[in-house]
Structure 1
Amino acid sequence: MTESLPLFPLNTVLVPDGTLALRVFEPRYLDLVRDCGRSGTGFGICLIAEGNEAGTPATPMAYGTEARIEDFDTGADGLLRLRLRGERRFHVVRTRVRDNGLVVADVEWLAADPVVELQPQHALLADMLRSVLEQVGADVAVPEPRFDDAAWVGWRLAEWLPITAMQRQSLLQEHDPDKRLDALLSLIG
């Protein structure tokens, strides 16, 4: 069963529980934010497969993450600034473009990651994450640390490691937390 979800294609990937700062200036996205605020719903963030962030509607990748608005304000430049939090992952079944240029997708929600204990071969990744968290310190709002949860460790590393958007997209599309950690090991190896 599919559900309709407005999309905000970007040149970045949002992961579950991840945060993203976003400036909004195009009318189609200002309307999207207003509608989400009124209805209390989220919208989808997808990496751009083809096109650009502004102007003509971009073609999104087939997997993305639902974003919820955590905070907003107006910047010195007068633009709307949002702080988003990633929630559920989804698979795009089909898209359509509204008259205002907003891309809307029919999506299938993906199952939440199971809570899987971190395996010994992935202990190095938990140690790396601890080090990253010490470096970012109070600059980043970090969810309650769960260093023994394979999915949590994988998502936090996917969010904060300096990897390409396509590498992050590949991790987003992996359904198994242990395989996601194996992929992260190969990226840093």
Structure 2
Amino acid sequence: MTSIPLFPLNTVLYPDGYLPLQIFEVRYLDMIRQCIMGEQPFGVVQLLDGGEVRKPGQQGQQEALAPVGTLARVVDWAAPLSGLLQIKCMGMQRFHIVSSEQLKHGLWMAQVETLAPDKTIPIPQEQQNVADALGALIRTLQEQKIPPEQMPLQPPYRLDECGWVANRWCELLSLSAMQKQLLLSQDNPVLRLELVQDMLTENGLLEE
């Protein structure tokens, strides 16, 4: 098991996902600075209850964390103002929280066990339309000349891998907290891709 600091958010980070953040709370400024200096990852977990930002007079507010999260590494950062950090993170390995504790100043620490990364499995023919739709979306964004740092997906674009394609759609689709957590917890990348295909079909986002 490994002890890591946690960053609870109202979103889910998937392996190889891109996550830009603006940090201004003291509890996270200190944490991120230490992670940058030590080149250490932190854990991103979905916040099931409670707010991302602590409000004055709400020091005792309850925060409920999802059981599965993703390690994040800082790939770029800037400090444009005192008390503000702008960071860009990439998702690494998934983990399961064994135990967690919220410290006095509000930072969460957890004992975690990392989960096995997705096996590299080619896209089955039955799900090729899911990869094709993602490739078309990437081309559309590139044609719109969106700056690389503002792209929701970062290269390398592994459009031939089940896990990578499924994870990118999981980030792009408007899903409920429970759906996002179930997809993150799914160990079989082919099954995850099949579930994404069903969601895309239901929303009329796939060509027949």
TM-score normalised to structure 2 length:
0.84
Q: Match for residue 57 of structure 2?
A: none
Q: Which moved more, 1:26-35 or 1:71-80?
A: 71-80
In structure 1, runs of 5+ residues without a counterpart are none
Aligned pairs for 1:10-159 within 5 A: 10-55=9-54, 56=61, 58-75=63-80, 79-137=84-142, 138-139=146-147, 140=151, 142-159=154-171
Q: Match for residue 58 of structure 2?
A: none
Partner Cα distance (2:34, 2:46) in 1 = 22
Amino acid at match of 1:122: Q
Going from structure 1 to structure 2, the CA distance change for 1:77 and 1:166 (only over 3 Å counts) comes to farther
Partner Cα distance (1:143, 1:167) in 2 = 25
Partner Cα distance (1:46, 1:75) in 2 = 26
Amino acid at match of 2:36: G
Going from structure 1 to structure 2, the CA distance change for 1:115 and 1:149 (only over 3 Å counts) comes to same
Partner Cα distance (1:176, 1:53) in 2 = 30
- Per the TM alignment, residue 118 of structure 1 is displaced from its structure 2 partner at its CA by 0.9
Q: Which moved more, 1:126-135 or 1:160-169?
A: 160-169
Larger radius of gyration: 2
**SS in structure 1 of the partner of residue 170 of structure 2:** helix
| RMSD (CA atoms) | 1.8
How many residues align? The count is 188
Contact 2:27 2:107 in 1 (8 A): yes
Amino acid at match of 2:113: E
Contact 1:18 1:156 in 2 (8 A): yes
Contact 1:97 1:104 in 2 (8 A): yes
Contact 1:57 1:103 in 2 (8 A): no
- Per the TM alignment, residue 63 of structure 1 is displaced from its structure 2 partner at its CA by 0.5
Partner Cα distance (1:163, 1:148) in 2 = 24
Partner Cα distance (1:3, 1:101) in 2 = 20
**SS in structure 1 of the partner of residue 119 of structure 2:** coil
Partner Cα distance (2:154, 2:36) in 1 = 24
In structure 2, runs of 5+ residues without a counterpart are 55-60, 202-208
Contact 2:73 2:89 in 1 (8 A): yes
**SS in structure 1 of the partner of residue 40 of structure 2:** coil
Partner Cα distance (1:39, 1:127) in 2 = 40
- Per the TM alignment, residue 169 of structure 1 is displaced from its structure 2 partner at its CA by 2.1
1:51-77 CA deviation, whole Å, 9 max, x = no partner? 110114622100100111111123579
Q: Match for residue 204 of structure 2?
A: none
- Per the TM alignment, residue 109 of structure 1 is displaced from its structure 2 partner at its CA by 0.1
Partner Cα distance (2:47, 2:169) in 1 = 21
Contact 1:57 1:101 in 2 (8 A): no
Contact 1:95 1:104 in 2 (8 A): yes
* 2:42 counterpart of 1:4: no
Contact 1:98 1:104 in 2 (8 A): yes
